[in-house]
Amino acid sequence: MISVVDIMNVLNGEQSPIKLRDNEAFSVPFISEHCDKKMLTLLCYKNQFRFGGTGSTKVTKIYYINPDDVYDFFEESADDPVQNEVQLKLFSQISEETIHIGVADGYKKLLDITEIIFSGAVLQKETVLEYARLISQMTNETMKAYYLYYGHDYFMWLESFI
């Protein structure tokens, strides 16, 4: 299995098998099932800005990456998530210590924690709480709905630690 960090380095590099368009980016990866296999899952999203400084986030595609071969992936068009009344504590854990972390450092830390989760290591409550604080700070409400829609089992499992 290739590490989550190495997979993301390939996907964000020159040799990426997935070509993003202008103003598109990958979400924080999460784990989901696809074709009866555990896959690293990424949302491809774009921020749409409007005159006056307002904007919105739109997820356009879902990528399921084989953790053994980054060039083996599935691409699907994204559906709008069904409005879910579930409010996860996982997504509302902002704290003073995470407010001051930069986006790049926060993203790197989320990748490191995702690596721990993906490796099957015994998960500690403190690790999940750190993940929750970071993802709460770095994710808007639109993306939280997509995460819950496409990664329901994963995020509900993480929620069980809080």
Residues 110-143: tens digit of each pLDDT = 999 999 988 888 888 889 999 998 988 888 888 8
The pLDDT value given to residue 98? 54
Give burial (CB, 10 Å; 0-12/13-18/19+) of 142. middle
Interacting residues of 63 by C-beta distance below 8 A, sequence separation 6+: 18, 26, 41, 42, 43, 44, 73, 74, 75
Condensed to tens digits (0 to 9), the pLDDT of residues 86-114 reads: 678 888 876 655 556 777 888 999 999 99
pLDDT at 137: 85
pLDDT band at 32 (very low <50, low <70, confident <90, very high): very high
- Tell me the pLDDT tens digit for each residue of 44-75: 999 877 666 667 888 999 999 999 999 999 99
User: Cα angle at 59 between 56 and 65, to 5 degrees?
Assistant: 150
